[in-house]
Structure 1
Amino acid sequence: MTSPDPEGPLAERLLRFTRRAHRIQKRYIEQSGLGVTPAQSRLLRTLAHCPAPPRMADLAERLEVVPRAITSLVDGLEAGGKVRRVPDPANRRVIRIELTDAGRAALGELRAARRSAAEEILAPLTSEQRVVLGGLLDTLAEPDGGPRG
């Protein structure tokens, strides 16, 4: 006879919370009117943190998705004028992806949407609970379960 899974209820609550957070964030992104999906938003944020325009393969690796997924995301963002493909100055066969001015402006609006989503999600918590949650999330976000040094 197997014993009940003591972590099962906690894992289920964590998954329910994650789904709720994604739904709320998606709603705020859609309300922004930018015509950007949550996945495209993530790609824009990733681009904003790159010191130089990355290759699509680099983006796929950073976002932990297959290269074909990046192609689709870039195609949509490029059609909306938020990114552009540019040749690598050192190797013109290599294509890099860079943010446009419209992409940078969209990032500002997306940050505001994310902040609004976070405010809604965290509204039931006191300031002290938010600090505790922040520490717990920092611990859980690290692959080895500990804070970065």
Structure 2
Amino acid sequence: MPAPDDTAEQIAALLDGLVRRQRRATKEGLDVTHGQLRMLRTLDHADRALRLSELANQLGIVPRSATSVVDDLEAARLVARSPDPNDRRATLVTLTPAGTELLTTIRRNRRDAMVTLIDRLSAAERSDLLRLLTRLSED
């Protein structure tokens, strides 16, 4: 029987591999970086325009980095900037319809990739896996 730390290392390595595989499949054929995707998801979850400073804060990055990512996303027409009506010094960032469509595609790709993986499991195994992952993810 492996030592608990060996088992933990094996589980960590397997989960890392699955996450990498999932990320590759999710973005396959799409020209978006992980950082850009995080920003798009943050804007999507906000359900409102965010100031650049708010966006940087939510992502845990410096405002200059947020500006660079927004520049790239704006050039790709995935986000749009507009002046903040309450503070003319601030800029608001929103998803464009193309940004929303890209997120929909990514979610579909992620789901399809996971379906491919879990199709190898029986219904009982899928249920067990879901139960165990849920238990591990509880705080």
TM-score, normalization: structure 1? Answer: 0.74
**Which residue of the other structure, out of 4, 8, 12, is the alignment partner of 1:11?**
8
Inter-partner Cα distance in structure 2 for 1:11 and 1:135: 18
Inter-partner Cα distance in structure 1 for 2:67 and 2:15: 27
How many residues of Structure 1 are paired with residues of Structure 2 in the alignment? 138
1:12-47 CA distance string (max 9 Å, x none): 23332332233223322442x331123322321221
Q: Kindly indicate whether the alpha-carbon contact (under 8 Å) linking 1:53 and 1:97 is maintained by their aligned counterparts in 2.
A: yes
Shift of 1:6: 4.5
Q: Kindly indicate whether the alpha-carbon contact (under 8 Å) linking 2:80 and 2:93 is maintained by their aligned counterparts in 1.
A: yes
> Which runs of structure 2 are paired with 1:48-127 in the superposition (5 Å)?
48-127=44-123
TM-score, normalization: structure 2? Answer: 0.79
> Which runs of structure 2 are paired with 1:25-64 in the superposition (5 Å)?
25-31=22-28, 33-64=29-60
Which structure 1 residue ranges, 5 or more long, are not aligned? none
Shift of 1:109: 0.9
Distance change >3 Å, CA 89–CA 115, structure 1 → 2: same
Inter-partner Cα distance in structure 2 for 1:14 and 1:60: 33
- One-letter amino acid matched to 1:51: D
Q: In angstroms, what is the RMSD of aligned CA positions?
A: 2.5
Q: Kindly indicate whether the alpha-carbon contact (under 8 Å) linking 1:55 and 1:97 is maintained by their aligned counterparts in 2.
A: yes
- One-letter amino acid matched to 1:84: A
Shift of 1:100: 0.5
Inter-partner Cα distance in structure 2 for 1:42 and 1:79: 17
Shift of 1:94: 1.3
